[in-house]
């Protein structure tokens, strides 16, 4: 009797699985494609070389001031490149985080 019950249950399982053909009863909810965007940070920019003062050639205060101004200008140029890259990365990170928050709210509002 137990063998018959097991065989019947097993055959019902297979017949139930093959009886469903066609479209599934549900369709997955797809968020908009523009909300699935997370860009990579990109390639780091090359930094211009830092100006090196050759103090052995500086003999006057005016020369020292001019050399120092060139040095400061080279540092400011390097800082500008770094700051631009940081802003670009922060922008991409903000877009990605904003989209992630939107997706959490979108899927959180769906019925269970």
Q: What is the mean pLDDT of the chain?
A: 84
User: By three-state DSSP, how is residue 43 classified?
Assistant: coil
Q: How deeply is 73 buried, as exposed, middle or buried, from its count of CB atoms within 10 A (0-12, 13-18, 19+)?
A: exposed
CB 70 within 8 A of CB 9: no
14-45 pLDDT per residue, tens:
555 555 666 667 777 888 888 888 888 888 99
47-66 pLDDT per residue, tens:
999 999 999 999 999 999 99
Sequence-separated contacts (24+) of 84-89 with Cβ below 8 Å = 84/45, 85/44, 85/45, 88/42, 89/41, 89/42
């Amino acid at each position: 009797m137990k063998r018959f019950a097991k065989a019947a249950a097993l055959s019902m399982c297979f017949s139930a699985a093959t009886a469903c053909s066609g479209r599934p009863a549900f369709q997955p909810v797809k968020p908009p494609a523009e909300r699935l965007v997370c860009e990579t940070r990109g390639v780091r920019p090359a930094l211009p070389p830092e100006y090196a003062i050759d103090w052995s050639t500086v003999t006057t205060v005016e020369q020292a001031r001019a050399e120092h101004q060139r040095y400061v200008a080279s540092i400011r140029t390097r800082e500008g490149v770094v700051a631009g890259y940081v802003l670009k990365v922060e922008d991409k990170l903000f877009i990605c985080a904003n989209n992630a928050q939107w997706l959490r709210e979108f899927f959180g509002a769906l019925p269970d």
